[in-house]
Amino acid sequence: MNPWELPRERIEELVREHGTPIYIVSREKIRRNFRRLDRALPAVKFYYAVKANPCPEILQTLHREGCGFDVASQGEILAAVAAGANPRTDLLFADTVKDPKQIGYAHGIGLDDFTYDNASEITQIARLAPGVNVHLRLIVSNEGSVANLSHKFGAPPQQAVELLTAARDAGLVPRGISFHVGSQCLEVERYCEALKLTREVFDRAAEAGIPLESVDIGGGFPVVYENEPIDLEAMCTRIRECFEEYFGRYIRENACRLVAEPGRAIVGDAVILVSKVISESVRDGRNWLYFDDGIYGSFLEVLLYHMRYPLRGETDGPQTPYVLAGPTCDSIDVFSRDATGGIETVTLPEMHLDDLLVAGAMGAYTFSESTRFNGFEPPKFVFID
Ligand SMILES: Cc1ncc(COP(=O)(O)O)c(C=O)c1O
């Protein structure tokens, strides 16, 4: 079930049993999200991006569905392996900036697919994981996506053949190309442009004697937070058309493996957060509510990307505007913010001490980005199915 639809009595019951703050998770919704993508892109092998939410039960649920894992560190590898993943067949080390100790560890347990975007990574990988398969990550446009990843990652396409050749000369096996169109991508054409660019690199690499056989389209599949007009099936239909346009021949000749690394779209709307009012005040004429979770806990993306989660107060009072703040000793810990990051009020039914706030679509980049600042622990996970 969609946990956002849980009735108030059930939420109150779970709070009586487990306290607050808690994440309420539907494993069934995670399975449905995975199957939906899997059906919409049947030729693609999926590797869930563990960074989105590494909760062990979530990883186990996905492993049982046959999903692999995109990992970025030894910690994420350990979490994926604990969930049952086979390092050789189920894991991609898809972060382009890797701690060398962790490259050696990954290689030692059989992980055989690494992503890179610069010459120094080739040196590190060749030294610590000789002979492994590598994907070169390209810079692609992230315009229209909420989280832009192209500022930090990806090689310029004009350097692609040089970097593929350098990897081969260092004894690695250049297997394919990867890209990421940015997280919460709302413009499907970004995938199509990136696939066109990837095909051009495939052709240039083949001319240079480096035949490639794998395309990794990264993550970016979006989640509905407020009322974004997202049609995931239509988006995937368009991606399939572009696979056909740029890689049709490869796919028909079984000469190309297609891979994706979704995170947000698998867990985002499978989790709600329940937090409690722990203090209230009036400041500069505005009503403030303070909760037992905030920016340093589950709401960091409000600050980073001006993310706006659906919120509801589990009370019945008159509609009242509130500033919503977290519990820590920092003024920045306010999670009612507008699209530019400025503090705003949110209208909720009148709330007081001990009342419950429910935030929807809290599965992705919430727990995984939460800190322990001021000694506040991240929320506990509670599973409803
Ligand atoms: C390399 C890589 N792959 C996949 C993902 C998952 O992206 P998303 O959650 O947008 O699907 C990310 C997110 O930062 C990433 O950096």
Asked if 214 and 326 sit in the same domain, the reply is: no
Q: Which residue range forms the structural domain that includes residue 112?
A: 27-266
Asked if 86 and 204 sit in the same domain, the reply is: yes
Rounded mean pLDDT of 89-113?
A: 97
Asked if 163 and 148 sit in the same domain, the reply is: yes
On whether residue 212 sits in a domain, the answer given is yes
Residue 231: what pLDDT?
Answer: 96
- Alpha-carbon span 7 to 3, nearest angstrom: 9
Asked if 250 and 323 sit in the same domain, the reply is: no
Q: Could you tell me the pLDDT band of residue 134, with boundaries at 50, 70 and 90?
A: very high
In short, whether 360's Cβ falls inside 6 Å of ligand 1 is: no
On whether residue 4 sits in a domain, the answer given is no
pLDDT in tens, 269-283: 999 999 999 999 999
Asked if 252 and 311 sit in the same domain, the reply is: no
In short, whether 369's Cβ falls inside 6 Å of ligand 1 is: no
Which of 216, 240, 266 is at the close of a domain?
Answer: 266
- Alpha-carbon span 342 to 306, nearest angstrom: 9
If you measure from the C-alpha of residue 120 to the centroid of ligand 1, how many angstroms do you get, rounded to a whole number?
Answer: 22
Catalytic residues: 329
Atom of ligand 1 nearest to the CA of 261: 4
* Structural domain count of the chain: 2
Asked if 261 and 351 sit in the same domain, the reply is: no
On whether residue 5 sits in a domain, the answer given is no
Asked if 327 and 256 sit in the same domain, the reply is: no
Q: Could you tell me the pLDDT band of residue 356, with boundaries at 50, 70 and 90?
A: very high
In short, whether 52's Cβ falls inside 6 Å of ligand 1 is: yes
Residue 254: what pLDDT?
Answer: 84
- Alpha-carbon span 140 to 186, nearest angstrom: 15
On whether residue 253 sits in a domain, the answer given is yes
Q: Could you tell me the pLDDT band of residue 214, with boundaries at 50, 70 and 90?
A: very high
Asked if 58 and 81 sit in the same domain, the reply is: yes
In short, whether 218's Cβ falls inside 6 Å of ligand 1 is: yes
DSSP string, 116-151: E-SHHHHHHHHHHSTT-EEEEEBP---TTEEE--TT
Atom of ligand 1 nearest to the CA of 137: 1
Asked if 186 and 324 sit in the same domain, the reply is: no
* Residue 137 Cα distances to 38, 150, 161, 183, 214, angstroms: 23, 10, 12, 16, 12
Q: Could you tell me the pLDDT band of residue 251, with boundaries at 50, 70 and 90?
A: confident
For residue 51, pLDDT beyond 90 = yes
If you measure from the C-alpha of residue 321 to the centroid of ligand 1, how many angstroms do you get, rounded to a whole number?
Answer: 35
To test the pocket of ligand 1, the residue of 70, 140, 180 to mutate (highest count of ligand atoms within 8 Å of its CB) is 180
In short, whether 190's Cβ falls inside 6 Å of ligand 1 is: no
If you measure from the C-alpha of residue 353 to the centroid of ligand 1, how many angstroms do you get, rounded to a whole number?
Answer: 38
> To the nearest whole percent, how much of the chain has pLDDT over 90?
97
pTM: predicted TM-score of the whole model, two decimal places: 0.97
On whether residue 164 sits in a domain, the answer given is yes
On whether residue 1 sits in a domain, the answer given is no
Asked if 273 and 262 sit in the same domain, the reply is: no
Residue 220: what pLDDT?
Answer: 98
For residue 301, pLDDT beyond 90 = yes
- Spacing of C-alpha 321 from chain mean position: 31
Q: Could you tell me the pLDDT band of residue 126, with boundaries at 50, 70 and 90?
A: very high
Q: What is the CATH number of the domain that holds 379?
A: 2.40.37.10
Asked if 103 and 165 sit in the same domain, the reply is: yes
On whether residue 341 sits in a domain, the answer given is yes
Residue 253: what pLDDT?
Answer: 87
Q: What is the dihedral of CA 170, 172, 173, 177, to 10 degrees?
A: -90
Which of 248, 266, 284 is at the close of a domain?
Answer: 266
Asked if 106 and 189 sit in the same domain, the reply is: yes
Closest CA to 267 of 156, 365, 121, 370: 365
On whether residue 20 sits in a domain, the answer given is no
In short, whether 263's Cβ falls inside 6 Å of ligand 1 is: yes
Residue 73: what pLDDT?
Answer: 97
